[in-house]
Structure 1
Amino acid sequence: MLEQHCYHVSGRDVAVIETGNRRSAACSVVLLHGWLDNAASFTSVMTSMAHQISPNIHLCAVDLPGHGLSGHKNSDNFYSFHDYIDDVHQFLVTLSAKKKILVGHSLGGLIASCYSAAFPEFVDGLFLIESIGPLAESAENSVLRLRNGVNSRVRIRRKPRRGYDSYDTALQVRAVHSELPEALVAPIVERGIGLQDGQWMWRADPKLSSQSLYRMSEAHAEAVLAAIQCPFQVVLGSHGYSSLKTYSRAVLPGQTDIQQVAGGHHCHLEHPEQVGELLSQFIMKIDETTFS
């Protein structure tokens, strides 16, 4: 059964959806969601795995800082990508399991890949959904990125927060933006929105929408991927981001397992049973004793 908990880690509340005993589990599987999603992005996948899970497995989907029910960072923090790596580290070291597997979708996958490269001793397996390594671009774009990033912060500081008159309207807007049926995004919306002064407001910190001031070069990104030591599996949607398919062939190590499932960028929402089965099989390869 999935349970909701909130932990106080390094002075900040970290909200999670989890199943299994985080204290006695032999293996903790930590799932990191995409940008402006939240932990509920993984509830259908986690539920689909319930019949395969043994008591030795702890599944834990985390609300990243500023998302879902987790706390926001202070007012002058604009959620630099690299700070997420520190956030994940602070959470992982609180888990007692001998083995830890990181699962990441989109932004969560970018974070998980970088963390796995920097701290191989803490990661026994890496499972990415519609994500491969950190975002990269030509160094020639660095000055323009700095300028655009600062200007985006200026706009966010000036922009008033606006809500929706009804929950249904908010759900419709998010479904259109995600190009998914309302039923599939409803869990994310329910966890990510709240009623304030008669208006439905997103809980996500508005500063999450600022543009990055810095992005790695392609050489940096390739070095990160080359440093990953643990078993590594990638799942791509058949109608997901086409750039990921090209990128995976160019830079991923030959031993990396790449699987394709039906669906788009949120293929784990569209086909949770298939993605859940792939994840279950991956976990079994890491530690066959964790499944009954």
Structure 2
Amino acid sequence: MHRSWQLEVQGRRLAVMEWGDPQGVPVVALHGWLDNAAGFTLLARYLPQIRLIALDLAGHGLSDHRAAGQPYYIWDNVADVLALVDELKLKRVALLGHSMGASIATLLAGSFPERVSRLFLLDGLAPRHYRADSLPEQMAAALRKGNRIRRRGWRPYEQFEQAVQARMGGRYPVSREAAIWLLERSLEQRPDGWCWRHDIALSQPSVVRLCEQQIAAFLTRLTMPVLLMMAERGDELDGVEPLTELVRDLELKVLDGGHHMHLEAKAAAQIADWIGERLT
């Protein structure tokens, strides 16, 4: 069973799920793009001895959206995670991040290395970087696409089961059980059907992006041990491997799994073993 609570950050509500031993080692977990805190349900089953604390990032799950018209820059999540760590009265904490959540964890740890004891990263290490000379065109394309997306909005599903089938067969497939965990926190029933709680602005490409030199600056400031667990059947490994040389204390593991390997039983059990070993 999980425990639910929320905190307020600058007038916005952020929703939190907790599992495990309240007196165990605290680990703050950060989910990927368009997922939510429930994505750590399976890992929590394998880690009952720790206190696993998962946040619905802004605009996701049961957390409030950012103000209308405000973009969702990945680095804005760093302040929200710090607010959670402060709410928990933790001077230092281990971070567990998946995909986008892994990138947020790295930005936080690079900015505040004294606040992070360990990094556990799942199929992601840092935000995707771009050549500096491509950034003006990237900005123009993102602004054009953003205007179209905001006008369109999300399309509702007539039945919850339709959403389950869509999530199971999406770009990053998950099991039926995992799809239900995620959708119970991501959908709400309205008169016109089952609608996403996610802010539509999350699907707008970022107007401002980071270049390679900026990403490198964060990675070289990681002073804590980093366990990077990549999916063999994902599509991130090739882009991540060159960056690992910039991190002074990094251990790379490659698992037989897809991008959501932490929601696959065999891979999740192995991930939990590695995390448990390093926290005890």
TM-score, normalised with respect to structure 2: 0.92
Which whole-Å deviations, capped at 9, do the CAs of 1:119-146 have from their partners, x for residues lacking one?
1111111110000122101112101111
Structure 2 regions of 5+ residues with no counterpart? Answer: none
Give the aligned partner of residue 52 of structure 2: 59
2:30/2:54 contact within 8 Å kept = yes
Matched, 1:107 2:100: yes
1:132/1:248 contact within 8 Å kept = no
Q: Report the CA distance between 1:181 and its aligned residue.
A: 2.9
Q: Distance in 1 between matches of 2:35 and 2:156?
A: 17
Give the aligned partner of residue 268 of structure 1: 262
Q: Report the CA distance between 1:282 and its aligned residue.
A: 2.5
RMSD over equivalenced CA pairs, Å: 1.8
Matched, 1:76 2:69: yes
Count of residues in Structure 1 that have an aligned counterpart in Structure 2: 276
Alpha-carbon spacing, 1:160–1:123, altered in 2? closer, same or farther (3 Å): closer
Q: What amino acid is the match of 1:147?
A: A
Q: Report the CA distance between 1:21 and its aligned residue.
A: 7.0
Query: Which portions of structure 1, spanning 4 or more consecutive aligned residues, are displaced by more than 3 angstroms?
Result: 249-252
Q: Report the CA distance between 1:258 and its aligned residue.
A: 0.8
Q: What amino acid is the match of 2:66?
A: K
Q: Report the CA distance between 1:240 and its aligned residue.
A: 1.3
Give the aligned partner of residue 189 of structure 1: 183
1:1-292 correspondence runs (5 A): 1-19=1-19, 25=23, 27-50=25-48, 53=49, 57-177=50-170, 178-241=172-235, 243-252=236-245, 253=247, 255-270=249-264, 271-284=267-280
Structure 1 regions of 5+ residues with no counterpart? Answer: 285-292
Give the 3-state SS of the residue equivalent to 2:214 in structure 1: helix
Q: What amino acid is the match of 1:12?
A: R
Q: Report the CA distance between 1:99 and its aligned residue.
A: 3.5
Give the 3-state SS of the residue equivalent to 2:143 in structure 1: helix
Q: What amino acid is the match of 1:121?
A: E
Alpha-carbon spacing, 1:142–1:183, altered in 2? closer, same or farther (3 Å): same
Identity in percent: 32
Alpha-carbon spacing, 1:130–1:123, altered in 2? closer, same or farther (3 Å): same
1:10/1:90 contact within 8 Å kept = no
Q: Distance in 1 between matches of 2:83 and 2:97?
A: 17
Q: Distance in 2 between matches of 1:173 and 1:258?
A: 32
Q: Report the CA distance between 1:182 and its aligned residue.
A: 2.3
Q: Report the CA distance between 1:80 and its aligned residue.
A: 1.3
1:129/1:236 contact within 8 Å kept = yes
Q: Distance in 1 between matches of 2:145 and 2:277?
A: 42
Q: Distance in 1 between matches of 2:243 and 2:71?
A: 32
Q: Report the CA distance between 1:30 and its aligned residue.
A: 0.4
TM-score, normalised with respect to structure 1: 0.89
Q: Distance in 2 between matches of 1:246 and 1:87?
A: 27
